[in-house]
Amino acid sequence: MHLPHIVIPAALSFALTLPCTSVLAQEKPQERATSRTGLHSADPDQRLHAIDSLSSIGSRAADAIPSLIGAFDDSDAGVRWHAAVALGKIGPAAVPALVSALKDGQVNIRRGAALALGMIGSDANAAVPALISALTDNDELVREHAAEALGRFGSEARPALEGLITMLSDDDPYANGAAAEALHRIGHEAVPGLVTALRDSRENVRWCAAIALGKIGPGAPEAVPALVRALTDSSENVRWCSALALTDMGSRAKEAIPALSRLQYDRDADVRWAAHMALETIDPSSLQTKRSWSATAAIIDSLVPLLMNELHVPGVSIALLDNRTLVWSRCYGVADAARRTPVNDGTLFEACSMTKPVFAYTVLKLVEDGKLDLDRPLVEYLDEGPDQAYRRLITARMVLSHTTGLPNWRKGEEERDGPLPVLFKPGSRFSYSGEGMLYLQRVVEHITGELLDVYADRTLLRPMGLEHQMSYAWRSDLDPRLATGHNTDGTVLRKTHYTHANAAYTLYTTAQGYAKFLTEILKTDRSATYSLSQHFIDAMLHPQVDLDIREPIERPGQARGLAVSWGLGWSINTTEDGTIVHHSGANRSGFRCFSQFRPDRGSGIVIMTNSISGGELWTRLITVVGDL
C-alpha cells in the first residue's frame, strides 16, 4: 500500500530544538530546511511535547529520524530520553541511521543511539556488529546501553558472547550488570564461556559470571560442577551468588549438598543464608540433621583458640548441655592477662545481664508461693519514689518482659539514686531496662525482709549446690577466683567488687555453675523445694511481647531466626525448627557472655569471656555451632 507523505504541522515543527551535529549533516536538503525553519524552541517542555507527538505516530515519523537523533545532544535529559523512545517506536527504519550514530564523535549521540537500538529490540538485529564494537567504547554509558541492547536480541546476539564476557571485567558495575543480563538472555549458549569465567583470576569476573549463571538458572545444568567449586571461592560475593545460582537448579544440583552444608557455617552471614536457601530447595531433608554434642564440642575446641587470638580475648570458659544434663566444659586462656592466671572450672566471670534470668527464677518462685502477684502494681507492695501516674501502673510482669517504660539506666546511673523517669506508658511496648529489675529487686527485698544476695543464696543457690559457683555480690573468699575484665586490645581493666547486689548485672558465676542453673530449668523432675513447677517454667518461657526492634541471634540451618519475643526474663527466638531461648550479657568492666537452650531437646550452651571483644567471639561461635 502506498502511504501518503506526512506533513509535520507547523506548531510541532516549531517545538523542537535541533542542534547542528555531524548526524544532521547527513539529512536530505528538504529535511534540513524543515529543521531550520520549524524545529527550534528555547523551551525544553515544548521540545519534549513535540518529540512525544512524533512518538505517537510511530513509523510514520520516519522523516524525523535525523532530527530525533540530533536531539540526543540536547541539554535536557528528558528530551534525550524521549527522543530514544520515539526512535524505538519508529522501529527498523531508524536502524541504519542509529548504526551510523554509534560512531559519532559526540558522546551523547552514541549513548542515545545505543539506547534507542535497545528500545527497537530484536527488529534491530542488523545492528549487532556495531553494538559489539560499542562494547569497547570509551564511555561507560555507551558500553552499558550497548550491552542492554544486545540483551534484547536474545539468542540472535550470540556473536557478542566474547565481548559480553569480557565486559564482566569492566570497571563500571552497571556495565557488568548489563552484560550479565545480556548473557542471561542469550541463554544456554552463554554457559560454556561463563563456566570458564568462573575460574578467572579477577574476582569481579567470577562474581558476575556467577550472577549470570544464576539468571540463566535451570537452563545451565552443566554449570553445576563449576558452581560447586565456586562455593569455596575466596570471595564471599562469589560464594553467595554461586549458592543462589544452585538454588534455581533444584534437584539437578544434588552434588552440591555437601559443600552447601559446610557453607552454612561460612564466616559471611549472606553466604550462610544463601546456603540454607539452596539446601531448602535442593533437598529439604538435608537440613534436618542434628549434630551430636561431641561434634559440637570438637568445633568449639578448634574455633575458640583462633577467635581468642584474632580478637585479643584472654580467657573463655564454655559448657554444653545435652539431654538436660551438663555433658562437657572447657576452659581457655587466662583469667588475668597481667598475672597470667589460667582459667579453670572454678574461675568466676561476671554474668552481666545474664543475672536477670536468675533473678526472674527467684521472682517466679515468690509468685508460685503466693507472695507476689505478677499483675499487681508494685507500688501496692512498696510505694517509694515520686508519685507518677505511670509509675503506679508498673507490675512484675512488665519488669520481667521489659515493658515498664523505665530507661535502661537513669542519667548518672542507679548508685546515687537520682531521678528516675518513666518514659512511656507501662505495658505499651518493649524497651530493655535494668532499672526495672532494680525496682523489682527492692520490692522482693521488702517482701522477703532480706537483701537479694542473702535471700537468693539461702533459697536457691545453696540448695542447688551453687554457693561456690554463683554469687550476686562480691565476697572476700571468692576474690582469688574472680577473673579480670579486659579491653578490646587485651589490656587489663580495673577488677570489680560488686558489694551491693543488683538484679540486673552483678552476678558472679562459673560457666559450669550457670549451666547447672539451665539444667534446673530444663529438668523434668520439678519436686525439689527450690524448683519452679512446670506451669511456671512454661509461663517463664512463653512470649509476653513481640520485638520488632531486635533481630534474631544469627544461627545456621534450621536454627535461622524468624522472630524475636521476650518472655519472663528470657529472650525467645522462633526458628524454622522450634524455639531457642537465650540471654546475653555485657558489662563495661570488660566481660561479655551468652547462654541459650532448647526446652524441647534439653540442649544448651554457656559462653563466658573476660573481654569486651568477647561479644564478637560468642556471636561468631554461635553462627557456626548454631542450634545444639
Mind listing the pLDDT tens digit for each residue in 78-110? 999 999 999 999 999 999 999 999 999 999 999
Q: Residue 576's pLDDT band (boundaries 50, 70, 90)?
A: confident
Q: Residue 558's pLDDT band (boundaries 50, 70, 90)?
A: low
Q: Residue 14's pLDDT band (boundaries 50, 70, 90)?
A: very low
* Backbone conformation region of residue 143, classed left if phi is above 0, alpha if psi is from -120 to 50, else beta: alpha
Query: Looking at the predicted structure, is the pLDDT value of residue 246 above 90?
Result: yes
Per DSSP, helices labelled H in 283-323 are: 293-311
Q: Which residue has the cell 529472650?
A: 571
Please compute the mean of the pLDDT values over residues 296-300 and round it to a whole number: 92
* Cα–Cα nearest to 321, from 621, 622, 603, 618: 603
pLDDT of residue 331: 98
pLDDT of residue 35: 37
Domains, the chain, with CATH or none: 1-152 (1.25.10.10), 180-289 (1.25.10.10), 296-345+484-494+509-625 (3.40.710.10), 355-461 (no CATH)
327 three-state secondary structure: strand
Please compute the mean of the pLDDT values over residues 126-154 and round it to a whole number: 95
Cell (9 digits) for 351: 554474668
76: which residues sit within 8 A by CB, 6+ positions away?
A: 44, 47, 48
Q: Residue 553's pLDDT band (boundaries 50, 70, 90)?
A: low
Query: Looking at the predicted structure, is the pLDDT value of residue 34 above 70?
Result: no
Please compute the mean of the pLDDT values over residues 566-592 and round it to a whole number: 93
Q: What is the spatial order of strands in the sheet that 591-598 belongs to? A: 341-342, 325-336, 315-322, 603-609, 591-598, 578-587, 571-575, 561-566, 545-547
Query: Looking at the predicted structure, is the pLDDT value of residue 31 above 60?
Result: no
DSSP for residue 482: B
Q: What is the pLDDT of residues 147-182, one digit of tens each?
A: 999 999 988 999 999 999 999 999 999 999 999 999
pLDDT of residue 267: 78
Q: What is the DSSP string of 510-553?
A: -HHHHHHHHHHHH-S---STTPPPHHHHHHHTS--EEESSSPPP
Query: Looking at the predicted structure, is the pLDDT value of residue 10 above 60?
Result: no
Please compute the mean of the pLDDT values over residues 292-315 and round it to a whole number: 94
Please compute the mean of the pLDDT values over residues 331-346 and round it to a whole number: 96
Q: What is the pLDDT of residues 487-542, one digit of tens each?
A: 999 999 999 999 999 999 999 999 999 999 999 999 999 999 999 999 999 999 99
Tell me how far apart the alpha carbons of residues 602 and 580 are, in angstroms, rounded to a whole number: 11
In single-letter form, the type of residue at position 59 comes to: S
- Sort 352 into a burial class: Cβ within 10 Å, 0-12 / 13-18 / 19+: buried
Q: Residue 566's pLDDT band (boundaries 50, 70, 90)?
A: very high
Q: What is the pLDDT of residues 355-390, one digit of tens each?
A: 999 999 999 999 999 999 999 999 999 987 777 889
Q: Residue 5's pLDDT band (boundaries 50, 70, 90)?
A: very low
pLDDT of residue 248: 85
pLDDT of residue 6: 33
Q: Residue 213's pLDDT band (boundaries 50, 70, 90)?
A: very high
Tell me how far apart the alpha carbons of residues 398 and 437 are, in angstroms, rounded to a whole number: 10
Query: Looking at the predicted structure, is the pLDDT value of residue 18 above 90?
Result: no
Residue 612 contacts residue 491 (beta carbons within 8 Å): no
How much is the pTM?
A: 0.71
* Cα–Cα nearest to 608, from 404, 218, 346, 255: 346
Query: Looking at the predicted structure, is the pLDDT value of residue 344 above 70?
Result: yes
Tell me how far apart the alpha carbons of residues 325 and 431 are, in angstroms, rounded to a whole number: 33
pLDDT of residue 556: 60
pLDDT of residue 37: 33
17 three-state secondary structure: coil
Q: Residue 552's pLDDT band (boundaries 50, 70, 90)?
A: low
Tell me how far apart the alpha carbons of residues 433 and 426 are, in angstroms, rounded to a whole number: 12
pLDDT of residue 358: 98
Q: Residue 568's pLDDT band (boundaries 50, 70, 90)?
A: very high
Q: Residue 420's pLDDT band (boundaries 50, 70, 90)?
A: confident
Does 317 or 284 have the greater pLDDT score? Answer: 317
Query: Looking at the predicted structure, is the pLDDT value of residue 28 above 70?
Result: no
Sequence-separated contacts (24+) of 257-265 with Cβ below 8 Å: 257/282, 257/283, 257/286, 259/228, 259/231, 259/232, 260/231, 260/286, 261/286, 261/289, 263/231, 263/239, 264/556, 264/557, 264/626, 265/556, 265/623, 265/624, 265/626
Q: What is the pLDDT of residues 265-283, one digit of tens each?
A: 787 888 988 998 899 899 8
Share of the chain above pLDDT 70, in %: 91
Tell me how far apart the alpha carbons of residues 365 and 459 are, in angstroms, rounded to a whole number: 10
pLDDT of residue 15: 39
* Backbone conformation region of residue 451, classed left if phi is above 0, alpha if psi is from -120 to 50, else beta: beta
pLDDT of residue 561: 64
What average pLDDT does the chain have? Answer: 89
Buried b (16+ CB within 10 A) or exposed e, 194-218: bbebbebeeebbbbbbbbbbbbbbe
Residue 431 contacts residue 410 (beta carbons within 8 Å): no
pLDDT of residue 119: 95
Sign of torsion, CA 277 265 316 461? positive
Query: Looking at the predicted structure, is the pLDDT value of residue 257 above 60?
Result: yes
Buried b (16+ CB within 10 A) or exposed e, 36-62: eebbbbeeeebbbbbbebbbeeeeebb
H/E run at residue 207: helix 203-216
* CA distances for 203 relative to 230, 232, 234, 392, angstroms: 11, 13, 9, 62
Helix 236-247 vs helix 203-216: crossing angle, to nearest 10: 10
Query: Looking at the predicted structure, is the pLDDT value of residue 20 above 80?
Result: no
pLDDT of residue 30: 44
H/E run at residue 212: helix 203-216
